Homo-oligomer: A and B are copies of this chain.
């Protein structure tokens, strides 16, 4: 990268422009706690080097000068990777997080890091070629994975959904192809980072809850992603919601993940179909085999009673878990993402009802619960934010 040898103040300016693309010079100076003179000097240097660009209207004569700023595309590109339990997405993003090219496909993380990362490397090269960008122009690579990650080493630690990845060095694997730094984090932390960027850090305390194959939570506390003492903060899937409930793969009884996540929803619907409670689900079962979350979502949106019952029960249990978390953490917003969002408003309504019923008035007085504003893009955008934020943090200064 061509930004080696920058000064501290210049890095600070790049960081603020990254988090608030289109920021004015005055707002930039205020955000960085710089005098206007200092901010203007750093901006002038960065414009000179081609690392920043001016946007805004340029009036030919007598008008005010263009004064909004964004990162220059000549900085290079970011690669974002979002790996889920059953699929992966790779994208090439500009420094201001426009998606230049992306590709998603089914994948099975149970296959282990070898085959999955090989495929990801192939996709990275294909997508870079499609954008006409060379590997040496990559600023940084951000990867979100569905398991507990030790952030400093970039390795998964005893991941229940993907045991073959335990302690595998993703960084070493990618180092042969790319000299850019590689940053790895839990998938829900990455989604939370994406939402934090989308709202330009305007909400300091919120949660992102992903309900898909598992249940996990990303925590933004005092304006930063909070990872906990050992990197496992947000591991809410094994919070107990039914003390004498069925045994979870973790060994305990009645975990919310085993009762309310995607596989539980699909299993309950398959049982309902087999028991003859829903002609629609029975037809789907006959045509497509064991029902998946998206089949149930389709049936629920079509008004199928049995599907709706399971969706409501799942939402109520996720809400019961969230009520504990909301009493403890008092966030301003809870954003729900993951495969379950395809079910539509019924799931969200059930979550809300359960949380508002169980949480203290003070915690919920201004609490908003909604689906993630970035939707299915949250993982990819968040991986891009991770790549850019950490690359800026690591850059070599003069």
Output the least CB separation between A32 and chain B (Å).
16
User: Is A365 located at the chain interface by the 8 A CB criterion?
Assistant: yes
A92 to B320 Cα, complex, angstroms: 45
Output the least CB separation between A359 and chain B (Å).
8
Are B365 and A236 touching (Cβ within 8 A)?
no
Residues of B with C-beta under 8 A to A148: 362
A157 to B330 Cα, complex, angstroms: 14
Given contacts A235-B327, A235-B360, 11 further A-B contacts (CB under 8 A): A148-B362, A205-B229, A228-B329, A229-B330, A229-B332, A232-B360, A233-B328, A236-B324, A243-B243, A324-B324, A324-B328
How many residues of chain A have a CB within 8 Å of chain B? 48
Nearest B residue to A221 via CB reads B221
Are A232 and B157 touching (Cβ within 8 A)?
no
- A361-B158 contact, Cβ under 8 Å, with A205-B228, A222-B224, A366-B230: yes
Are A233 and B330 touching (Cβ within 8 A)?
yes
Are B235 and A331 touching (Cβ within 8 A)?
no
A129 to B112 Cα, complex, angstroms: 72
Output the least CB separation between A39 and chain B (Å).
19
Contact surface of A with B, Cβ cutoff 8 Å: 148, 157-158, 205, 217, 219, 221-222, 224, 226-236, 238-240, 242-243, 250, 252, 320-321, 323-325, 327-332, 357-363, 365-367
- Stoichiometry, as copies per complex, reads 2
Are B328 and A239 touching (Cβ within 8 A)?
yes
A interface, by DSSP: helix, strand, loop or mixed?
loop
Are B232 and A362 touching (Cβ within 8 A)?
yes
- A328-B325 contact, Cβ under 8 Å, with A242-B243, A243-B243, A362-B148: yes
A360 to B367 Cα, complex, angstroms: 28
Are B235 and A363 touching (Cβ within 8 A)?
yes
Nearest B residue to A160 via CB reads B360
7 contacts between A and B (CB under 8 A): A148-B362, A219-B329, A238-B359, A239-B323, A239-B327, A239-B328, A329-B329
Q: Which of B205, B235, B331, B359 has a CB less than 8 Å from the CB of A330?
A: B235
- A222-B226 contact, Cβ under 8 Å, with A236-B327, A360-B235: yes
A92 to B219 Cα, complex, angstroms: 39
Are B158 and A240 touching (Cβ within 8 A)?
no
A362 to B361 Cα, complex, angstroms: 32
Residues of B with C-beta under 8 A to A329: 219, 228, 233, 328-329
Are B158 and A238 touching (Cβ within 8 A)?
no
Residues of B with C-beta under 8 A to A362: 148, 157-158, 230-232, 235
Are A240 and B361 touching (Cβ within 8 A)?
no
- A358-B229 contact, Cβ under 8 Å, with A243-B243, A328-B328: no
